[in-house]
Amino acid sequence: MRSENFSMRFLVAVAFLVSCVSGIGVNWGTQCTHLLSPTTVVRMLKDNGIQKVKLFDADPNILDALKKSGIQVMVGIPNDMLYTLANSVQAAEKWVSKNVSAHVSSGGVDIRYVAVGNEPFLSTYNGTFEATTLPALQNIQAALTKAGLSTRVKVTVPLNADVYISST
């Protein structure tokens, strides 16, 4: 009886939480041995009610497949690009033009966020990206503003939970 009571309360709590969520999202990685076609993945996302997706880069084939899908997108900037984007506003403008503006204006990819780096403060990177992440973010923000997209597309830095660990 006790177990059934707990199970019922748990199910009610989960149902309540799900009803409060504005959408379910997934990470879409491409580093695997047997890639599915982007159109197949988009169809699977839609069939399963997935409304948001985070990409770890801005693959044009994937972005083309997401056109008019109704799926909200976060495009990512790989860590190995942070140095260049931190040191060149022009590089940031070129990146935004190619990877955001072109897809938002030419067919309706619902890009909502740009992720600057992929967990660049992860402790295993030993501070490699600490000096370049903020300047890269600032240059991407400036490029989005110049492109007239800053009210529609927001900039963020994905963090790993290890940033919360404190030695004090």
Q: Alpha-carbon distance 87 to 139, whole Å?
A: 8
* Token pair 């000096």 in the structure block, residue: 131
Q: Which of 4, 93, 119, 130 is catalytic?
A: 119
Distance from the Cα of residue 164 to its chain's centroid: 20
The neighbouring-strand residues paired with 116 are 77
Decide if 119 is catalytic: yes
Rounded to 10 degrees, the C-alpha dihedral 59/68/109/33 comes to: -20
Q: Alpha-carbon distance 102 to 95, whole Å?
A: 10
Q: Annotated active-site positions, please?
A: 119
